[in-house]
Each structure stands twice: as structure tokens, then as C-alpha cells.
Chain A
Amino acid sequence: MATTLKINGQAHQVDLPGDVPLLWVLRDEVGLTGTKFGCGVAACGACTVHIDGEAVRSCQVALSDVWGDVTTIEGLGTPDAMATIQQAWVDHQVAQCGYCQSGQIMQAAALLAENPAPSDADIDDAMQGNLCRCGTYPRIRAAIHDAAAKLKEV
């Protein structure tokens, strides 16, 4: 059965069983590979995307349950036109292996949309679902504070 999804502002017709998680629709069907598979059980946050602006684990949202417009890391900004949060990630040289960073950035973007000036404790609460095996947390924290400051200037 074909389902229509709006992803990064574009409509996509998808012909897959309704129980296929959004993660695997994005990666294997639509070809948006920026969203990563890490655990499949909502324990690592690598697959984080936005649905109507809310950060969700796309490995836990079945295709038939997608309730709104989907934004992935590719829709947040591009190498030539980065979102403020992405630029902060570059400025702070956050990534090491980089595999978890799409999810980290999507989670941080949702945090800043909700809370424009997060404290360290707010960052702890919002980001602790996102695992990074390289241990880039200190730079992630610095980049979030920096992006918050830059967004305030605008």
C-alpha cells in the first residue's frame, strides 16, 4: 500500500508495509542516509529526526504512524548553507567518527527551538538519550551554548 510522506518539504510516495520504521523508509527507500541506524531500540538517538518539529527516534515510528512533516539532517541545512546549529558543530570541531552526530544535531536543534537558552542541566536532560562512543560530549555542550548565543543575536 502506498503511503505519502512529506520529507524536508518534498512529498514522497512509499510502497512498503505499514510497520516498517521511518528510519528504514528514509535510508533504504527514499535514499536519505544522513539519519543513522544505531540500535533499533531507541537507546542511542542516532536515528533522531523531527516530526512537526518534535525530535523523535525514527527507529520507533512505524511508517503508518508518521503523523506529520518529517525533517531530517539533510533538511536542516546543507554544506553550502548550514543551519546555525550545524555551523556551531563545525566551529567547535565536534565530530570524531561522526556517526552519531546527525542524531545529536537534530536533538540539539529541537532543544533550542523549545528552549533558546538552555542551562547545562537542560542540556544534560535533553541530550542524555544520544550516545556517542567517541566521547565528543564536551564539544557538543560547547556547540549548543554557542548556537544558542548566535540564535539570540539574530
Chain B
Amino acid sequence: MASIGKILRRTFLIGSAAIVGGVAFGAYYVSRPAANPLKPGKGETALSPFVLIDQQGVTLFAPRAEMGQGVMTTWATLIAEELDVELDQIRVLHGPAAAAYYNSALVGEGLPNKGYDISDFQHNLGEALGVLGRTLSLQVTGGSTSMKDGFERMRMAGATARETLKQAAADRLGVDRHQLQTENGAVVAPDGTRIPYTELAEAAGQIEPPEAKLRDPSEWRLLGQPQPRVDIPGKSTGTATFGIDVRPEGLKFASVRMNPRLGGQMNGFDASTAEAMPGVEKIVDLGTGVAVIASNTWLAIQAVEAIDVDWGEAPYPPDTDGLFNQIAKAFDDAPNSTMRDDGDVDVLPEGATEITAEYSAPYLAHATMEPMNATALFTGTKLDLWCGNQAPTLIQMRVANVANLDTEAVEIHTPYLGGGFGRRGELDFSEIATKVAMALPGTPVQTTWSREEDMRHDFFRPGAMARMRGAVKDGKAVLIDGKVASQSPTQQAVERYTGFPGGGPDKVLVEGFFNQPYAVPNYRMSGHIADLTVPVGFWRSVGNSHNGFFHETFMDELAHAAGRDPLDFRLELTSSEHAPSAGCLQAVKEMSGWTGKTPAGVGRGVALTYSFGTPVAQVIEVVDEDGTIRISKAWIACDVGLALDPATVEAQMIGGMIYGLSAAAQGEITFADGEVEQYNFPDYDALRMHNTPVTEVRVLETNKHLGGVGEPGTPPSMPALGNALFDLTGERARALPLNKQFDLLV
């Protein structure tokens, strides 16, 4: 563990140098500092944009939203580690929308490399390009980037604060700063005198922060150990405030209906019935939809559903078959990207056996537990907006534009998110709530979507198809030639966020496809963008969510064609290419007692996906119980490089897997007459207590770089389940969801 700390620290230092080296973009943007967004009050000192110390204590403004991934706690731990305070002494607030919180890791992920083979140079270049995030004001919680982004910055913030407080104490005591120690929220003098940070805060604000040195990981007290999550007591007592729970004085409640033919026009509506319904205060014409403001959310939902609306047609083929025909057509066009092209896939190696297969994965909804909602108070000159969100700076710009205000006149408040999974990186719920509140200036209005509205107006995980061709020889894969086709969530999102169409090679579409850590000599992977306007977005693990299934099901088919054990087949191909990936496979082999043989009525499948810098291997076991198939057990091994909080890593790996298994088993969004056919959880269910597998997790720390944890657990779950079903039944699963082909316990 000590060695990776050194590598990461050196990366940070070199990263700074690399920023100077990256003159074209890096140096220029870095030289333009983002303003400190915290505007400290009288008697307070903002030592950096992230930590605030005043007479009350230490406050961390976590720039990332807490949506269950433990980010508040781990960011606080990063600060506490260097600042020498206990975790329970730090008050953690979600920072305001601010350009100073740009997500450098997210933009760094955009580089066209595979990730697992990234050199230190490329890694640093990624960090240098990361400063672009600042210019786009990307305060985004997504891409499993929070720890990669915060690891250096938060510790540096804590260390800088510590040294500045020590300097303030040194000035007061007339001693040298280096004679002083820090401990439990106080500076300690050689004679044992303790001065609490709270007493030094004001003086510290007058001092130019001295250079601070980060501690060696061998000295860590908190990092690397499970920490109690700061948000859990509130979430266990009903006292944690989610977006839907904010209750500003005088609040009114609204609900909304937008065109179920997504993106279609509204030709007109008749609200006469709704107007006379109890509690109704106002009908709001949103142009492409309608809202009702009432005294109670339920009364608002009843009334908005009673409005007779004439909806226009959908701007895409009206049914699922038509959409997938259009996706398939994308294969005929030149690829948008070919990010891997090793050897020559056009020549079948002599003596090799060729196989082909075609796969498909459906559109999917995010289905966060907390339906979309936002609360807005518009006064004419100012707008306050409360909502669980993953992108406050983007929302701030958008709603300012909607309300015709300067961004400075818009304040974004981010309570807890009742699930994000990518859905709350969108701007629609904020924009709608702003428009509704503008109909009632001076009164705060909370606009809550019904579950049906939420389910049917998502930015869906796009439906996707893959055409795979491969060859095996002497028990090894010698050729893989893959094509994936789907809509591009990235290009659509860029247009939604900026108003300009996104373009260029889309790396996200092919992640989990072109960048898998297998030594296959002839290996070409291309992405094709389907020309469709169904709203699509970032769904936990994004492109990996379908590509993991395509790639790893095909890998199983290759192993089968080669007459090999599917786990050993993968182990051999990864061991020379990426040792941490091979380590994960070896770990699940040991954990599950994998022998390649299963008793009658039991099937096992394995899959490996490298995503967000983290390889994850999973073995899934299925059991035939009188004709119904139960997903009984799961083993997960991941290599995150450095587990800042192992208990949180474990929770995210299991949660990510269950999210993926839920989709693989039964998740599907279909279309008829231009409308989504699923309305609520009975049509779009997920795993529950009785059908969740018993799961064991092993967290490895050999990877050179800090990997993400929120998403990488999702992709391998789907192929591992499909491969287990093949092992059990002999039937290959090539289309999701699997309950259409197998009698799964739901």
C-alpha cells in the first residue's frame, strides 16, 4: 500500500509539471484560477475552497453529491487524515454550485487510451487536460471519478489547512512552526499547551498558506479503514433531507405531465375538469406539457392526470422493432470510432476456427427510488432551486437562462439524492420546476413527478446491438472483430448541456468493448452511432453496461469453441496483458472454489470487465429449483489500486452488481405508439430481498492507479449471469433481459 501512495503522490507532482508541459490547453486554463465560492463570513477563514474553519469548528464543503456512494464520508476522511481532526468533528455540507469544483478526473477520462495500459505520461496528460473541466464548469458527480478527483486535492486541502493553523499558533507562541504538532483538532506546543483550531481560525486567515507536505500512507490513521458514514444516522431515522423533503415556508405542491411521445409537441389541452378539482390553485402551460399547482402533491397528481391533452407524434419510429431496425442500420455506415485495431482481423489465421454471434440489449430506465422532483422559489430577481442533482453548475446555467437571470442570481441547493445512477445529471426536472414556480412568483413550489411520469420520461440507457466475429486456435483466442451500435448518450448530452451538437469519436459508446485487457493478436473493435432521437443518457457504467455483456458473452463463446474452461481461458489471456485483471480472475476462482464442473441443477458463469480504471471479475451461480432458476450466489473481486474505505468499496461492488443483475434478469423499456410501455415497478422491477444472491467480495490493491468503485460492479454481472445460465441449460443468452428466455425467480 505504501508503494502505490508514492506513485500517486509522484503522479500528482509530475501532474503539476505536466500541466506546464501541456501548454496548449493546460497551462492556459490553469493560470485562470476559479474564484473561491464560499464567500466566508465575518470571523471565518476559508483556507481553500473545500474547508472552512471558524469558531464553530471544521466544515467540509463536499463538492460531490451524496447519492449513497459514501462520497461525503470519504472526502471528509481525506481532509481529517491530514488535518488531524476526528471524523465526527467535521461538519460535511454539500458545496454550492461553483466553477471551483470542476471535475478534473471526468475530463481526463476522455483521452483515447484503453485505461489499463495507461502510462504515467498519459495519466499525467489526463490530469492536465482535466483542467478543461473547469472551463466547462463540470461540477459533476459521475463517471466513478470522485475519489480519483478528490484524493490529492482533499488531502492537500487538509494538509495546507494544518500547516497554516500551525503557523498561526507559531506566531502567537513565538516559536518555530516545525516545533509544533497537531492532534485531535488542536495545535500542540512542545510544552504541551493546546490551542484549538477554532481559536486560531481567524489569525490563520491573515497568513499566506505555507507549503504543505502530504503524509506517507504508512502514517494514515483513517484512510484504508472502514469509517462510519456521516449520513447514515439521518438515513436510519427519517431525518435526512432529500430533495423531495425540502419544506420552505409557504410551499405549494405541483405535478407535471410531458408528452409521452418523447420530444413530441403538445397540440393543445383542456383543463376544465382539473380546474374544478380539490386543492387546485393553478394550471401551468409549459408549452410541451402541463403542470398543476395545488395544496398537496397527491391532489396535484390527480388533477394533472385529469387534463385532456392532445399530444403530437414522436420524432422516432413508434415501436421497439422500428427502433432496433434503425440501430441495426448503423452497422452499414462507416464506424464512428475504431479505438482498437491490432494485427489484421481480415485474415483468418491458418487452422483457426471462426465463430460469429449477434447480441442485443434493451433500452433501460434508471428508476431511482426518489422520483424526479425539484423545488423552486422565483421572486423576479432571484431564483432558489432545491434538488438532488449530479451537476449543479450546469443546472445553475440552465435555470438562469430559463428565468432570464444572471447565474449569480440563482442559488442551487443540493440535498441528499434518493438515487442518481446518472439520471440526476440531467437538467429537465430543474428546468420544469423553475417554469412551474415562475407561474407563482414569490411562492416556493415543489414539482414532483409521479412514478409513471418518471419511468416514461427518462434519458434511457440506449438499446444496443453487437455483431461479433472471432476465432480460436490451439485453445486460445486469436481474433476478435467486434462492432457495437447504439445511440450516443454523450453526443446527445453535449447538445442538451451546451446547445451545440456533440461530435467526434465517442469513447463512451465503446468503453468496455475496445479496452478490455486481453492479449488477442488480431483485435478490432468499432462503434457505430444510431441516428435516433429517443432521449438517452448516462446509466450506471454507461457504454460498459451493454458492452460488458457483449464482450464477455462472446468471450465465453470463444472459450466454448476452443474447448476450454471459461475462467482459465480468460486467465491466460489477461495474465500477460494486465496483471491486476488476472489477479481478479484468480481471486474469484479461489473464492468460489471454481473447478469448471458443477453438479446437476447448478450452473456457474464468470465475466471480467475493466471499467473506470478498475478491473472487476464476478462468478455467478444459478440453481434450478423445480424449474425456476434462482440466482443463488455471487463472488466479486475488484482491484481498485487503493481502497480508501474498504467497507464502502464492498457496498458499491455489491450494489453495482445488483443493479446490473436486476437489468439483466428483467429490465426492459419498450415502445409502442411512440410511448414507453412500462409505467411503474410492477412493469419494471428489480431484484429484491428474496432473489438477491448471497455475495462475497474481495478488494485487491495492486493496480497502479486509483480506480472508480461506483460503476465497475455493474458491467460484468450481466454476462456472468448469462454465462451461468448457459452452463446450467446449454442455451446461450444473446439478448437481454434474460427472463424472456429463462424462467428466473422474480
**Interfacial residues, chain A to chain B (CB-CB below 8 A):** 16-17, 20-21, 23-24, 27-29, 31-41, 43-44, 46, 72-74, 76-79, 82, 86, 89-90, 93-102, 105, 123-125, 127-141
Contacts and interface: CB of A to CB of B under 8 A. Distances in A.
Contact of B239 (A29, A74, A133): A74
Contact of A28 (B296, B420, B688): B296
A37 B297 contact: yes
Given A133-B659, A138-B695, A34 B689 contact: no
A38 B419 contact: no
Interface stretch (B130-138, B139-147, B214-222, B229-237): B229-237
A61 to B, nearest CB: 12
B368 A128 contact: no
Interface in B177-223: none
A37 B237 contact: no
Given A74-B239, A133-B662, 17 more contacts: A24-B297, A24-B298, A28-B296, A28-B297, A33-B245, A41-B682, A43-B685, A44-B369, A90-B236, A95-B231, A97-B369, A98-B240, A102-B238, A123-B689, A128-B688, A135-B655, A141-B689
A102 to B, nearest CB: 5
Summarize A's interface: helix, strand, loop or mixed. loop
Interface string B671-698: 0000000001110011111101011000
A19 B272 CA distance: 21
B233 A36 contact: no
Nearest to B241: A33
B554 to A, nearest CB: 27
B452 to A, nearest CB: 8
B253 interface: yes
Going nearest first, the 7 A-B pairs with the smallest beta carbon separation are: A34-B238, A135-B658, A98-B235, A96-B68, A99-B418, A73-B238, A97-B68
A134 B680 CA distance: 17
A78 B240 CA distance: 11
Nearest to A83: B237
A43 B680 contact: yes
A133 B421 contact: yes
Given A133-B367, A135-B658, A135-B659, A97 B681 contact: no
Given A96-B655, A123-B689, A36 B418 contact: yes
Interface string B437-454: 000000000001011000
Given A39-B681, A125-B690, A136 B237 contact: no
B298 A89 contact: no
B416 interface: yes
Contacts of A34: 237-239
Nearest to B446: A28
B281 interface: no
Contacts of A137: 658, 687-689, 692
17 contacts: A24-B297, A31-B247, A32-B238, A34-B239, A39-B681, A46-B369, A82-B237, A90-B233, A93-B232, A93-B647, A97-B68, A97-B368, A97-B369, A97-B417, A127-B690, A134-B68, A137-B687
A101 B417 CA distance: 13
B688 A41 contact: no
Contacts of B242: 36, 98-99
Given A44-B681, A97-B369, A101-B235, A36 B298 contact: no
B611 interface: no
Contacts of B370: 36, 38, 97, 99
B244 A36 contact: yes
B633 to A, nearest CB: 12
B236 A136 contact: no
A130 B299 CA distance: 25
B263 to A, nearest CB: 25
Nearest to B66: A97
Contact of A95 (B235, B247, B367, B647): B235
B654 interface: yes
A34 B367 CA distance: 20
Nearest to A75: B238
B368 A133 contact: yes
Which among A29, A105, A123, A131 has the highest number of chain B CB atoms within 10 Å? A131
Contacts of A98: 68, 231-232, 234-236, 240, 242, 416, 418
Contact of A74 (B69, B238, B244, B695): B238
Contacts of A41: 451, 680-682
B299 A20 contact: yes
A73 B237 contact: yes
B657 interface: yes
A86 B236 contact: yes
Interface in B259-276: none
A135 B687 contact: yes
B563 interface: no
B631 to A, nearest CB: 12
Given A44-B369, A138-B694, A28 B236 contact: no
B657 A135 contact: yes
Nearest to B451: A39
Interface in B637-657: 647, 651, 654-657
Contacts of A29: 296
Contacts of B419: 97, 99, 133-134
Contacts of A138: 654, 692, 694-695
Contacts of A79: 233-234, 237, 239
A85 B450 CA distance: 31
Contacts of B662: 133, 135
A42 B467 CA distance: 41
Which among B232, B233, B369, B657 has the highest number of chain A CB atoms within 10 Å? B369
A127 B657 CA distance: 20
B228 interface: yes
Contacts of B368: 97, 99, 133
B278 interface: yes
Nearest to A99: B418
B335 interface: no
A16 B448 CA distance: 19
Nearest to A72: B238
B709 interface: no
Which among B297, B416, B656 has the highest number of chain A CB atoms within 10 Å? B297
